[in-house]
Homo-oligomer: A and B are copies of this chain.
Amino acid sequence: MTEPAPPDQPTDLSPLTLNRLSVYLRCLRRLEGEGKVTISSADLARRFHLSATLIRKDLAQFGELGIRGVGYDIVKLRARLETILGVDREHRAVIVGAGNLGSALARFPGFNRGAFRIAALVDNDPAKAGQVIGAFTVRPSAELADVVHEHHIELGILAVPPEAAQDNYDALADTGILAVLNFAPAHIVERTGVPIKTVDFLIFLEELAYLLRGNES
């Protein structure tokens, strides 16, 4: 037995590392599109304002992914990162709430890309059921569980008013959905087994506001 026990998946990655891996994946896709075949950590760092050592440290924890003296094989590394991040297969999602934001997300190409497919759109307003929004016919919320099972949906995307967010999260959790992305500015009590990630637009604006301190317009 000469196998040095390849450290295939560290039990879990810190959020910082995880985000960086996402960034690396994006960069590799860009390079792949440009037809490049291999890339060194130093090049990657230069082109995308990253740290070369950090890239190597991040990648090394998954085994010896690079070739010394040469660099990383872009296609192979890209595929490996996809597996690590869990985006090597399709994930279907349902958008709950066909209001402004829900409709926009349903039509937004940047959302229906890569490993993710929006499979359905539901709304609890009977007037909305049956309407066609982008590629979807809105289904009534009452049929949520059916929709989830019919389309083998794993992810829920909450685009409902804040006061309805908890109820809709609970309804999603009841269907056996695996995780939820929430766009409502509301605090949601999480159920074990159904992780929720809230995207709060105000936080992004606040980060910008902080940069502007003193900069009176």
Assess the A201–B111 pair: CB atoms within 8 A: yes
Assess the B205–A110 pair: CB atoms within 8 A: no
Q: How far is the CB of A97 from chain B (nearest CB, A)?
A: 11
Is A101 an interface residue, CB under 8 A from the partner?
yes
Is A61 an interface residue, CB under 8 A from the partner?
no
Q: Which residue of B9, B85, B152, B206 is within 8 Å of A206 (Cβ)?
A: B85
Assess the B217–A154 pair: CB atoms within 8 A: yes
Q: Which residues of B contact A114 (CB under 8 A)?
A: 202
Q: Which residues of B contact A178 (CB under 8 A)?
A: 211-212, 215, 217
Q: Give bound CA distance, A199 to B181, whole Å.
A: 14
Assess the A86–B162 pair: CB atoms within 8 A: no
Q: Give bound CA distance, A213 to B217, whole Å.
A: 47
Q: How far is the CB of A104 from chain B (nearest CB, A)?
A: 3
Assess the B86–A210 pair: CB atoms within 8 A: yes
Chain A, range 175-217, C-beta contacts under 8 Å to B:
178-181, 183-185, 187, 195, 197, 199-213, 215, 217
> A197-B208, A210-B85 given as contacts; is B203 within 8 A of A162 (CB)?
no
Q: Which residues of B contact A152 (CB under 8 A)?
A: 217
Q: How far is the CB of A146 from chain B (nearest CB, A)?
A: 16
Assess the A179–B211 pair: CB atoms within 8 A: yes
Assess the A162–B195 pair: CB atoms within 8 A: no
Q: How far is the CB of A48 from chain B (nearest CB, A)?
A: 8
23 contacts across the A-B interface (CB closer than 8 A): A9-B213, A15-B207, A18-B210, A19-B207, A85-B206, A86-B206, A87-B209, A91-B212, A101-B108, A103-B104, A110-B200, A110-B202, A113-B185, A113-B202, A115-B209, A152-B217, A154-B215, A178-B212, A179-B212, A181-B205, A195-B211, A197-B208, A199-B204
